[in-house]
Structure 1
Amino acid sequence: MAATRLYLDHNATTVVRPSVVARMADVLALTGNPSSIHAEGRAKRRVIEDARREVANLVGADTACVTFTSGGTEASNLALTPTIRDPRDPRPVTRLFVSAVEHPAVAAGARFPREAVETIPVDHNGVIDLSALDRALSSHATAKPEERSILALMAANNETGVIQPVAEAARIVKAHGGLVHVDAVQAVGKIPVGIGALGCDFLALAAHKFGGPAGVGALVRAHEGLHVAEAVVRGGGQEKGWRGGTENAAGVAGLGVAATEALAGLDAFAKLAEIRDEFEAGLARLGPVTIFGAGAPRLPNTSCFAAPGIASSTAMIALDLAGIAVSAGSACSSGKTKASPVLDAMGVDHDLSTGMLRISFGWTSTSEDASRFLDAWAEIARRANQTRPASVA
């Protein structure tokens, strides 16, 4: 009998919680449009508003400030626009600052023109350079005092798991009169995330990262006064005009259940750091290895590493054949190996970065999962050692 496959790619999408599946099935059985005023419509509306409260509770926000989206990408695109309106400061938002390790959904500038986007460097661990941020903000504020800027900074990196000093960055931005958007997609449900504690104005999250369904997420605002003049998805007046179209009630309900369970399970999730640390110690015993971001605080479930002489493409194939699903930081396209932009920003050598693998544990993971991976990795390392002299020759 074939061995059960081992899934270690939870940062991409984690396992859907059984309670989420059950709740979604119940909601799918309901008839009615949430915008209708009859009993069936009101029942669907209650489903959505219950989930809104659950999501607000997860990140310590006001329920009225939660807007449902199709996921984290749409949430960030909804927030990052020059049409932001803030009654506390009427100046237009004309400049977007992004860290050099942002997710593509943010790094591309969302709805800001490319020329209005400026990248802030990171150190060798992938942590934003706060001094460089301060200088950039000061330069913009001096040159354009009649305008405002916004910083987009992820709470935790999807590849390395490195946690950014968002609260410290937000204090710097606020001192210069700016706004802050946080891509919290990888952090929510893994570590405590509070919109107030972070000091941000906007926060994006996605259900499928913490046990909910793919295709649903939320944009959370710090207060109701924040607004954008132009929505991404236009149509009816759903979501108070923030997003047109009939709501995905079943998906939203699943997001709500996942939010409640993830919040209750934060202490248990934190214990994955023990498995992660033992896993990395096991890697080191098998040969030379570089753990990216090891010098900074990281998510408890994430290990991003590379071993000299072992290409990620080769390792991925071998692991998949062994029944183990992981992620690689590089990809083959048209026969060319591309290094991770995140590792490039961290100054990692190209030859090493193209061997990067990401192991991400999830709420279903156990120490036995780590041991099984190490057994498979031992064989990969052994074969690499056997072939290395021939390749050098």
Structure 2
Amino acid sequence: MRALVWHGKEDIRCDSVSDPQIEHPRDAIIKVTSCAICGSDLHLFHNFIPAMLPGDIMGHETMGEVVEVGSGVDGRLAVGDRVVIPFTITCGECDQCRAGNFSVCQRSNRNKALADKAFGHATAGLFGYTHLTGGYPGGQAEYLRVPFADTTHIKVPDGIPDEKLLFLSDILPTGWQAAVQAEIEPTDTVAIWGCGPVGQMAIRSAVLLGAERVVAIDRLPERLDMAEAGGAIPINFETESVIDRLNDLTGGEGPHKCIDATGLESHVSAAQPDTLIDRMKQMIGLETDRPHVLREMIYVCRPAGVLSIPGVYAGIDDGIPMGMLMNKGLTVRTGQTHVARWSDDLLRRIEDGQIDPSFVITHKARLEDGPDMYRVFRDKQDGCVKVFLQP
């Protein structure tokens, strides 16, 4: 089959690789009908996430049709079913899965010993990601093996196009979880840093959850226009002070809730000296991430507010103002997304027309064009916000 394969920093190729096979009774094989490039994939593309190996297949936003099931897959999944595959692999049986904490499943990470050393305790296995999360082949391919397939799938109806359903795999529930864990109240001002795909979903989730005011922070006009169309007040951080504008909008009180949909690769700008220092430290290995957004959120958030962090961070961050965080009494909530916790509700909202996630797609291409589309996405060429791929 054909698949997008990681060969090193900024080197993704469309290669011919072996077709996946059933390896365990709870496996299934799906024929991929659609997949996408995620901002998290760019972290791998730039080699900021450790433990990638040449030959790893990329991708964790995937859907398709079941073509084979293992002998241990129960009646919840059958050949011919149309499914979206969550990026988190879940056993459905461990204590964390039973508690709904699917992104920290205790059984699905096959590289548990390695993850224990890196994180203190292993998290769930993830598709198309670092070997710290199992090193499972991803879904930017013609076929995908799904471990724990009876619990790692979202069965979806016919009659709804892939474009509306694919993002149940990651960015829609990620934006939704970011908003839900912020505990939005009807009087809240919610500020969201980063208007990429996850930020766009978080904006619309905050609106659906009843926030009084949603503010979106970015520098790219096409992203800010998309955010404004979704109900947000845009702030361009290259042309105005984020802190001054947020204080103006809130009467000097600051936003109640802050969401970091940017993560470890926040933009480097001469107008923000701390970002230059972070980039220098990152280049020489003194820190792994660029946490400017975290600092800014802690500074501007209203006392007793909530910081929600769906943006991916890789390791060590410097200059986090813990004294400010503690003395203001801020609550911090983070984590990879517990996709299965939200999928039934979000599928219903798609079916009811409350949200159509396809709005975020700006580019469609064939799988074999994927390497070029990685560069288009990286460079934000032609207003690129989200790339939708079909084998």
TM-score normalised per structure 1: 0.29
Structure with bigger helix share is 1
TM-score normalised per structure 2: 0.29
When Rg is computed on C-alpha atoms for both structures, the one with the higher figure is 1
Kindly indicate whether structure 1 or structure 2 has the higher relative contact order, using CA contacts under 8 Å at least 6 residues apart.
Answer: 1
Structure with bigger strand share is 2
